[in-house]
Structure 1
């Protein structure tokens, strides 16, 4: 583990427990990133998270509070490079965790990789048990993230044709309006009068 200005820049590779996982999600990276970094919304799809709260934007140095498996955790964002990487961590019940997430676009899909290190007396007392618990937790998180992101991607794809037609109709309407104005310039008078009235309205 290396640090800059007291913040870790990577997970602690020398910790007694280090777990890595990855998953391919059939959804674009922007969608996956927004879903994953919307901390306050975690409880709506992350069934292992009972509550989550953050004051202000998610930026390096920001802290957020969340509760998982009956444990209250305060995590600090150590590094953030949207939409490619986020690193956070902090102590909880004697365990110091550092958690890294990376996101890579692959066509229309996203490869999500996560790595987390745990250290502390409870971890050293039962490294194998703690490793198994962490591995299960990360696996569940990735599964839930994939399920939610792919469902959102499906809805987005279904809305795409309707949005295209809406754009076509909007441009057609604008074009017809321009033709009417060119043919009858006086039609601009009521529009300009209305705009002037709005600008003078108190």
Structure 2
């Protein structure tokens, strides 16, 4: 009786193993959400034509995606949000395992990816497939960097606008208080208005 073991990392003995990394000027929570929102991959990952995830992202979940006309079904083997995710599955005779790690670096994130490919098609043409995988992972990381940094810049701009709005509101309140202290009679119209509202039928 055979047992099926769940991979814990990529296959270091595979015919092709590729590692890449990038530093992204965006917080780790933002980068993690971007990467694990699988259904929205086609919105920023131009090499992916479609992606579908029908259940919560956890170990054992399977999601489907299409890239370069190839349909892929990947099973999630490990998730440790927002630090690590490992998935894999067969496609056209290639057994792939793909690991991503996310490490906070101040306000930025170091993203490391490692992927292994094995199987007859890989062993028959390992050099070309290694080059293709290196190119694919490089493009993926660059698109992730640009998209995450754009989102981070928009988040920072919203935060600055909120801070300015709060400062303006508190400044206006303080100025109004100074006017009232300088001329208490300014309260009379306000009190009259509030009293009128309370008596309104």
What is the TM-score with the length of structure 1 in the denominator? 0.81
Could you tell me which residue of structure 2 aligns to residue 127 of structure 1?
126
Give unpaired runs (5+ residues) of structure 2: 172-190
| 1:61 aligned counterpart, secondary structure | coil
Q: CA deviation at 1:169?
A: 7.6
Whole-Å Cα distance in 1 between the matches of residues 118 and 55 of structure 2?
29
Is 1:15 the equivalent of 2:14?
yes
Could you tell me which residue of structure 1 aligns to residue 44 of structure 2?
45
| 2:152 aligned counterpart, secondary structure | helix
Could you tell me which residue of structure 2 aligns to residue 101 of structure 1?
100
Whole-Å Cα distance in 2 between the matches of residues 89 and 160 of structure 1?
38
Could you tell me which residue of structure 2 aligns to residue 148 of structure 1?
147
Could you tell me which residue of structure 2 aligns to residue 59 of structure 1?
58
Could you tell me which residue of structure 1 aligns to residue 177 of structure 2?
none
Whole-Å Cα distance in 1 between the matches of residues 113 and 99 of structure 2?
6
- Alignment coverage as a number of residue pairs: 178
RMSD of equivalent CA atoms: 2.5
Moved over 3 A (4+): 165-172
Bigger radius of gyration? 2
Per-residue CA deviations over 1:91-148 (Å, capped at 9, x if unaligned) read 0000000000000000110000000000011001001011001000000000000000
Q: CA deviation at 1:161?
A: 1.8
